[in-house]
Amino acid sequence: MTKVKAWLNAARLRTLPLSISGILVGTAIAAFHNATNVCIFILAILTTIGLQVTSNFANDYGDGVKGTDGDDRVGPKRAMQSGLLTAKQLKSGIYISVVINAILIILLILTSFGLDDILYPILFLGLGGFAIWAAIKYTVGKSAYGYNGLGDIFVFIFFGLVSVLGSIFLFLKSIPFNSILPAIAIGLLSVGVLNLNNMRDIKSDTTVGKNTMVVKMGLSKAKKYHYSLLIISVLCLFWYVFTTNASLLRYVSLIGYVPVFFHMRKVAVTLNEAELDPELKKVALSTFLIALLFFISYYYFL
């Protein structure tokens, strides 16, 4: 395998559609409130992708040096685990990606706010710095929060609240109160993907002392938790569409939940957690589909 393919492996491109889902939803809501800006949209997408790639590099490195990614790991092999990249190379990749992220964050802030009011740029610089820290500290270091059952909270905050509400603010310089509902919906779906990943890895995580929420609560309760995440998500998005005096066309985003309901049935009847691996892609792509349909129905049909 060439070095380019090795780095693409470490970047885990299949995770990127999920990461941009919140930006699509936030941009659509801003357009619904008559605020659009192509430059802000593109920079927000690039920034989110950059943060996700940084997180993927850091996860590969953090789990690799801790020995979490053993031969018994289910799912795609990591770059460091497979010997495609060394720890030193991954560490350098993290540093480079952080620099790129910082540049993108600054460009995004300047494009959205300029320098007329310094308060918002400072606030978003701090938020951007926190996002970079969170992307790295999920698995890296002794205090990695992913090893202490806090991954769900951080995913909900950054993939849901920050992604959706933050992108809305970049356009509107305010946040409509009811937009918290689609932010919660996307956040819960994203947590569902992480929870599914942790259910799949419950045996290996328990062995290496990675105390995810699933490890702490056990597989049976984790499944009930999983159903709750997905059901509350669809209820939140439905209520948002219903309360925005929307036309029937706007309900099209709810079609994306159809494969999610089939997925819930699969989780219920699956006894071997390793067989949950294919479901990860289904939930991640379903989340992206929901966000894309939401974007189309709110952005292009105002």
User: What average pLDDT score do residues 133-160 get?
Assistant: 88
- The whole-number average pLDDT for the span 147-156 is 91
**pTM score of the predicted model:** 0.93
Q: Which amino acid is at 131?
A: A
DSSP secondary structure string for all residues of 185-253: HHHHHHHHHHHHHHHHTHHHHHHHT---HHHHH-HHHHHHHHHHHHHHHHHHHHHHHHHTT--GGGGGG
Q: How confident is the model at residue 7 (pLDDT cuts 50, 70, 90)?
A: confident
pLDDT digits (tens, 9 = 90+) for 178-221: 999 999 999 999 999 999 999 998 988 888 888 899 999 999 99
Q: Are 153 and 12 in contact (CB under 8 A)?
A: no
> How far is the C-alpha of 195 from the C-alpha of 201, rounded, in Å?
10
pLDDT tier for residue 33 given thresholds of 50, 70 and 90: very high
Instruction: Report the C-alpha gap between 24 and 290 in whole angstroms.
Output: 10
Are the C-beta atoms of 206 and 215 separated by less than 8 Å?
Answer: yes
Determine the straight-line distance between the first and last CA of the chain, rounded to whole angstroms.
47
Distance CA 52, CA 46 (A): 10
**Count helices and strands in the chain by DSSP H and E runs:** 13, 0
Tell me if 158 sits within 8 A of 134, measured CB to CB. Answer: yes
**What are the residues whose beta carbons fall under 8 Å from the beta carbon of 5, sequence distance 6 or more?**
none
